[in-house]
Amino acid sequence: MGMNVIATDCCPACGSVGMSVLSSPRPQFVERCPSCGSAFYHSGAAGAVSHNDAYNVDANYQRYLETSNESSMRRRYEETLRRLRSRLRDVEQPHLFDIGAGGGDFLALARSRGFRIAGNEVSRPAIDECRTRHGIDLVLSDDLLALASEAPKYDAATMWCVIAHVDDPDELLSGARALLRPGGILFLSTPRYCIIDRVALLLRRATGDRYRRLFDRRINHFHRRQYTRRGMEELLRRHDFAPESVRPTVGYGLHMAEYLRSLGLPEVVARPIGATLDLAVRAGFLPRNILSVYARAV
Ligand SMILES: [Zn+2]
C-alpha cells in the first residue's frame, strides 16, 4: 500500500473492493467500507506515528491509568473470564495469554480465578507497573510469532483494545492464532462503528467541517480502526478463526467526564453530566460503542 494513495483498493476487514473517503486528506484521512461498514484512519503523506513509540511515553501512560474507569473495566473483566471458562469447560486450569497486558489488572484477576497466565507488552512503564502491582512479569515484545514458537500453545488469548491501535492488525491476528492450540479461544474487545460515529459525521458535514472534534476523538492515530460485526467476522475467518460471538456492547474505558473534557466541555458541566452518564453506562443505556468478540482457533 502506497502512503500517498487516497483510497486503498480493498477493505482491510472484509476484503470488498471500493472504499469511500469520509474525510479528505489533511493529509490524514478516514475511509469507510460501503460493504461491511468498518472505518479506517490513514496517516497519508504525514507518515505513521509508531504505536510502540507513542506507548513508551511514561506521561501518556500515567494519564491513562488515572482516568480509566476501573470499576467498569473490572465488571467487563469478570464477565469475560466467566465466558472464557464456559467455552473451555474441558480444561481444568486454562492457560491464558493476554496480548498488550498493560498494568496487568486483567491477568491478576484471571490468576485469582484459576487461570494460568502470561502476557506481553510494548510499554516499558506498563511492564514495571505490572510487576510492582501484581508481581507478574510480562514479556517486552510484540513479536507474537516468535513468542508462540518458544512457548506452549495456549487455551485462550485475549486483547483488550489492542487491534485498533497496532500498526498491522493482520500480523496481530496471525500471532494470536499461532499462540493458540486448535480449539483455543480468542477474546478481543475493540471500538465499533456506531451511532456516535454517524452523529460525528453529520456534525462535521452540517458545520462545513468546522466542528470535527467528536469525529477526530473517535478515530485517530491511536484508535485507527472501527469494525462492524460483519467486518470483524470476515477478518477473523481470513485468519483461521471461527467467529462464535461478535456482540455490540456498551463499554467505556474512561470516566464520562474525561470524554466530555476532551470534546471541549468546561469542567463545571463535564463533571455532573459525566457522573450521570457513568450511571447510564452502568445500566447499559449508552450506544453500543465496542465489539466483544469470541472466536475459536480452527
Ligand atoms: Zn469491509
Of 132, 151, 126, nearest to 56 by C-alpha is 126
Closest Cα to residue 291, out of 80, 138, 118? Answer: 80
- Expressed in angstroms and rounded, the spacing between residue 77 Cα and the centre of ligand 1 is 29
Gap from CA of 182 to ligand 1 centroid (Å): 27
Distance 7 CA to ligand 1 centre (A): 13
Please tell me the total number of residues recorded for the chain in this structure.
Answer: 298
Helix (H) or strand (E) holding 201: helix 195-206
Per-residue pLDDT at 186: 98
Question: What CA–CA distance (Å, rounded) separates 77 from 74?
Answer: 5
Distance in Å, CA 192 to ligand 1 centroid: 13
Residue 44 is predicted with a pLDDT of 82
Ligand 1 centroid from CA 35, angstroms: 5
pLDDT tens digits for range 256-265: 888 888 888 8
Query: CA geometry: angle at 144 spanning 141 and 145, to 5°?
Result: 130
Contacts of 212 (CB under 8 A, 6+ apart): 23, 200, 203, 204
How far apart are the CA of 102 and the centre of ligand 1, in A? 30
Q: What are 26-53's pLDDT values in tens digits?
A: 889 999 999 999 999 998 877 766 666 6
Distance 227 CA to ligand 1 centre (A): 9
Tens place of pLDDT per residue across the chain (298 aa): 434 444 458 999 999 998 999 988 888 999 999 999 999 999 887 776 666 665 555 555 555 655 577 778 899 999 999 999 999 999 999 999 999 999 999 999 999 999 999 999 999 999 999 999 999 999 999 999 999 998 889 999 999 989 998 989 999 999 999 999 999 999 999 999 999 999 999 999 999 999 888 898 889 888 899 999 999 999 999 999 999 999 999 887 778 888 888 888 899 988 998 888 888 878 777 889 999 999 999 9
